[in-house]
Amino acid sequence: MTARPRIDDEQRRARLGVRHLLAPAHRADRTEDVAGAVVALHATDPSTVFLSVAARLRAPSAAPTEQALYEDDTLVRMHGMRHTLFVVDEAAAPVVHSSTTLKVAARERRSMLAAFAAAGLDAGWTARVEDRTLAALADAGEATGARLGTLVPELRQEIPYGVGTSYATTQSVSMRLLRVLGMEGAIVRRRPVGSWTSSQHQWALHRPYPPLPVADAQAALAARWLASYGPATAEDLKWWTGWGVREVRAALAACDAVAVELEDGGEGYVLPGDAEAVAAPAEPWAALLPSLDPTAMGWQQRDWYFGAALRGELVDRSGNIGPTVWWNGRIVGGWAQRADGEIVWELLGAEADAASVEAAVAVEAERLRGWVGDVRITPRFRTPLERRLSS
């Protein structure tokens, strides 16, 4: 029996620096290139998208991301893997939609209709309000949820939520309906009200995604992900996508994934022809990545780049990774922005060449402060170290 190729942790970290565009020599000129390199940018916290992109651009700025999202339409904000909001490039959007989002959207619509029916709002009523909402958006071009509530008053109607639970409350029809229409691809989030850190987006009609067979879309998404994150385990792919075990196995088989041995003895996968070593960045590198950055959140099994001893300071109670400091493919600390705009950071643990690490991190902190300017960033999911550093 032929032995499986072996890819050690040092090689995995080298790939991370190169393929995720984090080493300075490998940074990108275009936002779209960054989105393609990491497959999907976390967008639950709107500032993450801009910070993640800028960390990987040769000339960091928020402007290229705003241009791609709101003027060129080369990036799309959509629900995707694990029911989470992401930003993806226009080529990946139909793949994510068919492979992942539609199944969740169908479940969300059933849940919405059941909740409306329990409040005395039948399917016919819902269909009429939906049609009026889409017509209002067609006339308005773009509108916030609040503006749509003025144009279609039924959207402001409150319905019970969480009946019989400790968190029982009410929520508006618009909150449920706009979410479902967005997941189905009928509408899309556009430019926010306020700066790029704002989460109050306007909505607009969206062109339908081309339909793709689910199995084909899942194979395509698995291949995209392995090209950027391989080698990775089947468990990593299952966690990242939110798919079931059978779907993961089928997608790996369909994209002809090749099994390799990882340093811990586990089984990982790469695309065909990708088991050979990738040259490490020529120079040591540091990076300051935001909360929920796709590299930090890219794998379920993280020991090879994120030591367990650091997680108490850098991960919140829900498992969200906060702002991180990186050195040569490993998380070594965290950072925050203070009220006066200063970028502050702290290394967690002794580094072999602490002076070099600190000098490189200081350069990246100044780079970040320089382009962020007067904008103040408070992560939506706050971690112990970020709270302490920002105080």
- Given a cut of 70, whether residue 107 has pLDDT beyond it is yes
pLDDT of residue 1: 52
pLDDT of residue 353: 82
Residue 222 covered by a domain: no
Question: What is the percentage of the chain residues whose pLDDT exceeds 70?
Answer: 99
pLDDT of residue 292: 98
- Can you read off the two tokens belonging to residue 231? 């080698």
- Given a cut of 90, whether residue 9 has pLDDT beyond it is yes
**Rounded Cα–Cα distance for residues 271 and 226 (Å):** 6
- Given a cut of 90, whether residue 216 has pLDDT beyond it is yes
User: What secondary structure does DSSP assign to 163-202, as a single string?
Assistant: TTSTT-EEEEHHHHHHHHHHHHTSEEEEEESSSTT---EE
Residue 135 covered by a domain: yes
pLDDT in tens, 222-279: 999 999 999 999 999 999 999 999 999 999 999 999 999 999 999 999 999 999 999 9
Residue 61 covered by a domain: no
Residue 213 covered by a domain: no
- Summarize the confidence of residues 276-283 as an average pLDDT: 96
User: Number of folded domains in the chain?
Assistant: 1
pLDDT in tens, 126-155: 999 999 999 999 999 999 999 999 999 999
What is the overall mean pLDDT for the chain? 95
pLDDT in tens, 307-319: 999 999 999 999 9
CATH number at residue 141: 1.10.10
pTM of the model: 0.95
Q: How many residues does the chain have?
A: 391
User: What secondary structure does DSSP assign to 275-320, as a single string?
Assistant: -SPPPPPSS--EEEE-TT-TTTTS-S--TTTS-GGGHHHHB-TTS-
pLDDT of residue 360: 96
Residue 214 covered by a domain: no
| DSSP H helical ranges for the chain | 9-19, 31-38, 46-54, 63-70, 93-96, 102-118, 123-140, 145-151, 173-184, 214-229, 234-241, 245-254, 311-314, 354-372, 384-390
**Rounded Cα–Cα distance for residues 32 and 369 (Å):** 23
| 3-state SS assignment for residue 96 | helix
pLDDT of residue 262: 98
For the beta carbon of residue 46, count every other beta carbon within 10 angstroms: 23
Pairing of strands 286-289, 267-270: unpaired
Task: pLDDT band for 121, please (50, 70, 90 cuts).
Answer: very high
pLDDT in tens, 170-181: 899 999 999 999
Residue 264 covered by a domain: no
List the domain range (segments joined by +) for residue 107. Answer: 100-205
Task: pLDDT band for 2, please (50, 70, 90 cuts).
Answer: low
Residue 325 covered by a domain: no
Contact criterion met (CB below 8 Å) for 58 and 321 = no
Residue 334 covered by a domain: no
- Given a cut of 80, whether residue 168 has pLDDT beyond it is no
pLDDT of residue 152: 97
- Summarize the confidence of residues 27-45 as an average pLDDT: 98
CA dihedral defined by 24, 30, 34, 39, rounded to 10 degrees? Answer: -160
| 3-state SS assignment for residue 24 | helix
Residue 169 or residue 359, greater confidence:
359
pLDDT of residue 161: 81
Task: pLDDT band for 295, please (50, 70, 90 cuts).
Answer: very high
